[in-house]
Structure 1
Amino acid sequence: MTLRAWRGDITALAVDAVVNAANSSLLGGGGVDGAIHRAAGPQLREYCSKLGGCAVGEARLSPGFGLPARYIIHTVGPIWRGGAQGEPEQLAACYRNSLALAEQHQLQSLAFPAISCGIYGYPLEAAARIAVSELRSGLGAAAHVREVLLVGFSAEQDELYRRLLDA
């Protein structure tokens, strides 16, 4: 199993599933969520409207529609409120539940964005540490998942992922 950093546009990746940092409605929004919805096309919003939303920390699966990825795993990260409102546990659950859903559907390759780090305000380094820790521990138990990319949209995100993965 490989866990590595990759810099670029998550919507361009031909992996089994891209992870969407969604909002609880699953109907699209800003940041990576909006980019994934635009790239996947209107069928994604229609499909997601039937899923009944998603709670913070949980994950849902949809087809990739217009994306090169076969599937989209939607997970809802916490809004940063200072860190004492359960945010670290909720963010860790996003990674665990996304990985579990991928394993359940026998997906082999995944790409994760920096969940909760955009408009939700989660500090990038703290979020990246949780991502690397949860994925490293979860991948040992994943029989099907072979490759996970931590996608940095900015140079700062990419460098941070690379530093943490080398540690």
Structure 2
Amino acid sequence: MDISLEVLQSDITRLEVDAVVNAANSSLYGGGGVDGAIHRAAGPELLEECRNIRRNSLPEGLPTGEAVLTSGYNLKARYVIHTVGPVWQGGSAEEEQLLRNAYLNCLKIAREHDAIESIAFPGISTGVYGYPLCEAVEIVSELLKEYRTSYSSPSRISICCYSSMDYQAYLASGIFTI
């Protein structure tokens, strides 16, 4: 089965997919941008589950490039996969590899859960973390092209863009359908 790659302009909290990816901060306690929107839409149970994860297994917080799974609670998505993308520091602090790891670790979690056949990513690190959009799009596009030659799950991978500028950048990569 071939993996479908799509780009859409929407609010990630309203998508009907099995899992949405949260561009989280390392605390997992919510914040601004996508992180805050997902926490608000999912409801207080998400914060409580994140607190339990921190207490029980991640007392120092979620490391950059890693990912963790929670329930989706009040979201249409059954699951949230939280990942911490790199803060842009000019490209000299392993940002590219950390960004790749963030996407790959989310996809690994999705592959390991049979119930996750569709996943939606925001543009990880391209907001307040300052990762240059065009560079991030190139990395993600190449990563997903490589990914689908080795794996068949999840069967639908979406990049969900909030802004028209982000949407156009991903669409211009040529690998996504609409």
Range class of TM-score, shorter chain: over 0.9
Alpha-carbon contact 2:20-2:77 (below 8 Å) kept: yes
Mapped pair 1:42 → 2:50: no
Partner of 2:24: 22
What is the SS of the residue equivalent to 2:143? Answer: helix
Alpha-carbon contact 1:139-1:145 (below 8 Å) kept: no
**Pairwise CA distance, 1:136:** 2.1
Letter in 1 for 2:67: A
Gaps of 5+ in 2: 55-60
- Using structure 2 for the length normalisation, give the TM-score: 0.90
Deviations 1:67-98 (A, max 9, x none): 00010000000000000110000000001111
Alpha-carbon contact 2:18-2:119 (below 8 Å) kept: yes
What is the SS of the residue equivalent to 1:50? Answer: helix
Return the index of the structure with the highest Cα Rg.
2
Alpha-carbon contact 2:28-2:82 (below 8 Å) kept: yes
Aligned pair partner of 1:33 in 32, 35, 40? 35
What is the SS of the residue equivalent to 1:82? Answer: coil
Mapped pair 1:98 → 2:100: no
Aligned pair partner of 2:165 in 144, 156, 164? 156
Partner of 2:145: 136
Q: Which segments of structure 1 move beyond 6 Å, counting only runs of 4 or more?
A: none
Letter in 1 for 2:131: Y
**Pairwise CA distance, 1:133:** 1.4
What is the SS of the residue equivalent to 1:140? Answer: helix
Alpha-carbon contact 1:20-1:33 (below 8 Å) kept: yes
**Pairwise CA distance, 1:156:** 0.7
CA separation in 1, counterparts of 2:118 and 2:85?
A: 21
**Pairwise CA distance, 1:128:** 1.2
The 10-residue stretch of structure 1 (14-23 or 140-149) with the greater mean CA deviation from structure 2: 140-149
**Pairwise CA distance, 1:2:** 0.4
